[in-house]
Structures are given as C-alpha cells and as structure tokens.
Structure 1
Amino acid sequence: MKRLFLHIGFNKTGSTSLQKTLARNAGALAEQGILYPYDPQAPYMQRWQHAPLAAAVPGRTLSWLVPKKRATLTEAFPTLRGRLEHGAFETLLLSSEGFGETAMGQEKIRWLKRQFPGFDISVIAYIRRQDAYFLSAYQEGIKAGRTRPFDFADHADAKDLYFGRRLAPWRAVFGSEKVIVRPFDPQVWPEGELFFDFLRTIGADTAAMTPEPPENEGLDYRAVEFMRQLNLLESGTQAAALPRVKARKLAATFSHLLAAADTRRKMQLSSEQAEILRTHFHDDNATALAGSGIAVEAFFPPVPQGRPARLAPPSLDPQDLLRLIAQLSPPSHRS
C-alpha cells in the first residue's frame, strides 16, 4: 500500500520554508520514490504548497487563497488524482497549514481522508512553544493590517495556542498512532534543519538534499511597531496613499537597517509572562505531546528569570527614522 504523509502545519512553524524546500528538492525526492506534487499552475497548488486542497474541503474557506486558485477550486482534487494516476511513487507528500486550521473539525477531516482510498495515511504536525508562537502570530497580524497594540491578555482566548485541542479531531479520525507531533525547535533537528527533521520523520534519506534558507524571518520589535503605525495611516483618511504592500516593504527595510547597524532585536516576552504561558498551557501541551516521546518540560522548560519584555518601544527613535529616510532617498547627482 502506498503511503501518504499529510503535513498540516501548524502555522508559525516554518511551513513556507519547508514547502519551498520540498518543491526545490522534488527531483531528489522522486529518486527515493517520494512524490511532492509540484506544479504552480495546477489547481491543487498555490505557490509551494497545496492550499487549494484544504480550501476545497466542503464548508471550508481560506481567506488567503488567491482569486486564480479560488476560480479553479472544483478542479483541485480531480487534477491531483490525474497526477497521481500517472506517477510512479511509493510515498506521497502533501503540505498546507490550511489543513491544520481550527476550522477543520472531525467531519471535514473524515471527508479529506475519504479522498485518498488505498493510502496508508500519517499526519505530521509541528508545534511551537507558546511564547514564541504568540509573538509570531501578533507580528503576522500586523503584516496583515492589524492596528491594535499587543495585549498579553489575549493569550487565554487564542484558540491557535491550544495544540492538544487542535490535534484532537485528527487523532479521532486517524488514530493517535497516525498523528506524528514534532517540536519546532532547531536544537532537536538534525544539523538544526527543519527540512532534515521532516525527512527523518518520513523515513527519507537526507543525502543529496539541499535545504533552503528560512523565510518569513521575524522583524525587529521597533519595525513591528513602525508597521502598526503605518497600518493606522492606512486605515485612516490617508488609506489610499499607503498600500499595505508598501507598508510591509518599508517595515522590512527598517528592520534590515537596524540589523545592519547591529542593533536588531526581536520581540520577546518577559520571564514572568513566558512563565504564565508555560503554566497555562502545560496540560494542553502534555496532551499534544502524548506518544511523541517528547516530555512537556523539554518542549517548554522553566523560563530563566530576569528577562525583560521587549514588545513595543515607547516611541520610535527619530535617528532611526532619519536613517530610514536616507536609505530610501535616491542618490543625488551633481551637474
């Protein structure tokens, strides 16, 4: 029986980098009998991942699915089946964090399972300790246009942070033994590479494989606040003057400028805040990690004391902003 490894994310765990690397190494994977269906023009694929397959599940919507793929959504599974019928492989890999969103309840997962008769299916989910996940999700919200400042109290109602609950419907449908949970932690990956950890998880050889550099690296905490303030402009009377894509580019340039000056610092919670999260999510993390061989204390160990919070500056340094303006200004030409 052919095998299917269904990578469901979760989001904020390097999925984009992993998908890009799988696509770039599709040829080397094929030599091992592993198929990562990669055709950016196919209805079942959006860029490097298989998001249209997640969006095609009845009752699902993916807000980030591009219009071109939304228009061909009914063709997503039929074209994938056609691709599989003409492929020589023993193992199939499909990947999208869209599969792992909280909207995927048991009925939707059962429907997804029925689309792959004759496959021995295993589900792979990466989970990230909540202090890092929480800040990454906030930053992603800012990139998407959020204007509200960071509020630590939001953690209690953030459904995405309860990994045990998110995994429960997948375990109910496929069985706990078929749901593989891995930590998003370079310290436990072979050579510190997410791609190599994924390959080892599916039993593939890492020889002749080339990992891609990480994508979606976090911004400096001052650049995050800079973008939030740009979002406020966008949402106000001057909305048309600053499209979101320009705001993102400005913030990225600002962050790179700070990095070049060796002053780049990412967002971080204080020791006390991180410890609150560790305690609050302890039992749910234990549930998520059950059967993985990873102790909950190893996944999210006690937090060293004395670390200050670094969330948003009281104000942006005018000197940093002047450097940004200078960076963006075209060079002058003397006549």
Structure 2
Amino acid sequence: MLAAHHDSLLAQGILYPTTCRHGDAHHVLVADLIDKYQANPMPDIWYGSFPRGEAWQRLRSELAAAGSSVHTAIVSSELFFGQSINIERMLGDIQTALAGHEVRILMYLRRQDQLYASFYNQDVKGARQWPGSAYEFYETHQIFQRDYDQVVDMWGAAFGHANLRVRPFEPAQWPDGDMVKDFCQVTGLPPLRAVGGEPNDGLGANQLYIKRCLNHIGYDKADNDRVVGLLLNLCSEPPLRTVRYVNMGCYGRLRQRWTRTNRRLGAAVGDGGNFFHAPVPEPAAVPEHALDRVVLSGFLQRLLRAGQAGHLQTVRGLFARAALLVIAEQGLWDAVPRADRVTLESWV
C-alpha cells in the first residue's frame, strides 16, 4: 500500500525508501540480518535480483541523500517481528544502522490461533515448502518460540517503550474496520486509500495435504508458483478459514498460554483488559482439519488425465511421486486401479 503512494507521500515529506526493497516491502532488510545471524539464509526468491548484504547500507545512503524536505521515513516488513533466533544481535545491528535518527516502532499482532493456522497454511503453500505436520511446525518455527509480550519487551528495550506502538490485527478495533485508517491515525500520516493487492488465500484441506506431499518429494523453489497453480486446477476446493490443525488437547494447552499472554499484553500496551476483544475460541468451537477421500480420489484421476494429455510437462514426475505418496498414506489402493498406479510409477 505504501509503495503505491510513494510519490504523494514524498511530496509531503514522507519517504518510503526504494533502494532497499525487492517488491513493495523492505523484506531484504530483515533477510540480510537472517543471513548474518541465523543458520538458514533466506532463499533467493526473497531477493530476486537484489544483492545480498547491501540492504542496510543502501537504506543509510538513501536517508542521507533525502534532503531537508524529508522529515519522516517508513520501512515496513512483516519479517521484522517474526524473528527470535539471535534477535538481540539483530536489534543491535538495527540500532547501529539507524543511529542518529529518531526511531519509532509500530507492530501489528494477530490473535495467536489465527496466526498459527495462517502461518502454517502459507508456509506449506509458499516457497518455504514446509513438508511436515502442524505439530512439528509449531514446535520448531522460531516465530512461536517467544510470547507476544516477550517480543514487545525486547523491541521496547532496544528503542524505548515510549517509542513503541502495538496494535491488534483485529478489524473490530480499527476505525470503520479499516486497517489503513488505523495505520494512518496511529502514525499521523495523511489519509491514504487502500490499494488492492493480489489475493493470497490459503489452501483447502486436501490441497494442503497434497502440497505437503509435493514438498516432501522436493523441487526447485523457483517452480513453486507453477506447482501451486497446477495443484489448484487439479484439486478445486475453497480455502480453509477457521480450522484447528492439532488435536483438542494440544490446542487447549496452547489456548491457555495465549490467553495468559493476551492478558499480560493488554495490561502492558492495551487498555488493561485482554489485548484482543475476541477471545481465543474453545477447542470444541474450532473444526479440526480433515481430509476427504472422495476429493483426493478425484485429484488422482484428474492428475492422470492431465499427465497423459501432456499438461504437466517437467513436473509430471514430481506430481506422480506425490500421488503415489497420497495413495500409500491414505490407503487409496481400491480407489486407483492397478493400471493407473503402474502409469504413475512409469512417470517417476
């Protein structure tokens, strides 16, 4: 949204830097810190043609060249608040890079059950190509290793709690339910109109499972969008909305932790009550992620027809391996004739 308003903002003395981003957001700033301080660097897809290791120097240079007509600069990336590994050292680098500037932090936090479900779905769907279960995901991903109030405290300690604003990602707490209006009010920016972005719906239940199987087989991250497009054509279903990816006991324990966190957060940066107006739902109120054998069988038949018609090209072998994994794990032997299984095996 801010990238689309670059020129009008600049005319009002507000810079949305252009030299330290790939795409509309400043993800490369965080990606360079991840490269420096974490064992697993961000894949090339986050950089495109942007050179690694240069983002912060480019930002400093752009700020220095901005001139006296610019009084405010804004950098934005959802990756900033998703880091926990070596976050203290990352924050130290950010402090050093922005030394001499008055720094204010605005953080939007999504209710944890929604964040967990969305993040898992998108990491399976996206170029990260997560192949494991939700249990493994929640236990190992760094974004879930610290509670929200801990993250807020760390950023507040680095830049001053008075310079930190924390807002709920909850339409009921935004003016007219509009996040752009909320953002402009909190930051003091002039009113901006929302700009429609590309939809990024999550996968449906069966699509998600098939994508996990594809991820388990493994393929080039550069092919991810193409693979997702083929999957959506071969297995059509609505995206998941409210869903529980873990059993009721696990979800219940997480819910207790989230509820305690949100009370602490509300006391620290909210109005003294729960930070989110809507409570985390009870386990029984959230449907569990479930597969449909009929939908999976239909996917397998459409896959066979597409492969025989030459529509899968270089990823036919990938889809064939994933299909055989689906058949084996879900016990779909009776749903797929032996001759069709032989065809799939011949594509491997």
Same fold (TM over 0.5): yes
1:205 and 1:224, CA in 2 relative to 1: closer, same or farther beyond 3 A? same
Residue 307 (str. 1) matches residue 288 (str. 2): no
Shifted more, 26-35 versus 61-70: the winner is 61-70
Aligned to 1:29: 9
For residue 52 of structure 1, the aligned residue among 28, 35, 40 is 28
| Bigger CA radius of gyration | 2
Is the Cα contact below 8 Å between 2:109 and 2:167 reproduced in 1? yes
Deviation at 1:94, TM superposition (A): 0.5
Residue 123 (str. 1) matches residue 105 (str. 2): yes
Is the Cα contact below 8 Å between 2:124 and 2:211 reproduced in 1? yes
1:296 and 1:229, CA in 2 relative to 1: closer, same or farther beyond 3 A? same
Deviation at 1:305, TM superposition (A): 7.0
In structure 1, how many angstroms separate the alpha carbons of the residues matched to 2:198 and 2:172? 15
Residue 134 (str. 1) matches residue 134 (str. 2): no
Aligned to 2:154: 169
Is the Cα contact below 8 Å between 1:136 and 1:218 reproduced in 2? yes
Shifted more, 218-227 versus 311-320: the winner is 311-320
Deviation at 1:224, TM superposition (A): 1.0
Is the Cα contact below 8 Å between 2:120 and 2:137 reproduced in 1? no
The secondary structure found in structure 2 opposite 1:229 is: helix
Is the Cα contact below 8 Å between 1:271 and 1:307 reproduced in 2? no
In structure 2, how many angstroms separate the alpha carbons of the residues matched to 1:135 and 1:122? 30
Deviation at 1:118, TM superposition (A): 3.4
In structure 2, how many angstroms separate the alpha carbons of the residues matched to 1:166 and 1:70? 29
Identity of aligned residues (%): 21
CA RMSD of aligned residues (A): 3.5
Structure showing the higher helix proportion among its residues: 2
Is the Cα contact below 8 Å between 1:190 and 1:197 reproduced in 2? yes
Aligned to 1:184: 169
Deviation at 1:272, TM superposition (A): 6.8
For residue 203 of structure 2, the aligned residue among 211, 219, 230 is 219
Gaps of 5+ in 2: 312-348
The alignment of Structure 1 onto Structure 2 pairs a total of residues equal to 293
Is the Cα contact below 8 Å between 1:221 and 1:267 reproduced in 2? no
In structure 2, how many angstroms separate the alpha carbons of the residues matched to 1:106 and 1:128? 23
1:304 and 1:148, CA in 2 relative to 1: closer, same or farther beyond 3 A? closer
In structure 2, how many angstroms separate the alpha carbons of the residues matched to 1:300 and 1:157? 27
In structure 2, how many angstroms separate the alpha carbons of the residues matched to 1:82 and 1:246? 37
Is the Cα contact below 8 Å between 1:102 and 1:160 reproduced in 2? yes
For residue 227 of structure 2, the aligned residue among 230, 244, 247 is 247
1:247 and 1:211, CA in 2 relative to 1: closer, same or farther beyond 3 A? same
Residue 281 (str. 1) matches residue 255 (str. 2): no
1:297 and 1:172, CA in 2 relative to 1: closer, same or farther beyond 3 A? closer
Give the TM-score normalised by structure 2. 0.70
Aligned to 2:78: 97
1:179 and 1:145, CA in 2 relative to 1: closer, same or farther beyond 3 A? same
Aligned to 1:78: 57
In structure 2, how many angstroms separate the alpha carbons of the residues matched to 1:120 and 1:149? 43
1:266 and 1:83, CA in 2 relative to 1: closer, same or farther beyond 3 A? same
The secondary structure found in structure 2 opposite 1:94 is: coil
Is the Cα contact below 8 Å between 1:124 and 1:181 reproduced in 2? yes
1:326 and 1:204, CA in 2 relative to 1: closer, same or farther beyond 3 A? farther
Deviation at 1:181, TM superposition (A): 1.0
Is the Cα contact below 8 Å between 2:103 and 2:163 reproduced in 1? yes
In structure 1, how many angstroms separate the alpha carbons of the residues matched to 2:4 and 2:48? 25
Deviation at 1:66, TM superposition (A): 2.5
The secondary structure found in structure 1 opposite 2:194 is: coil
In structure 2, how many angstroms separate the alpha carbons of the residues matched to 1:299 and 1:274? 20
Structure showing the higher strand proportion among its residues: 1
Deviation at 1:55, TM superposition (A): 3.7
In structure 1, how many angstroms separate the alpha carbons of the residues matched to 2:160 and 2:13? 26
Task: Report the AA paired with residue 195 of structure 2.
Answer: P
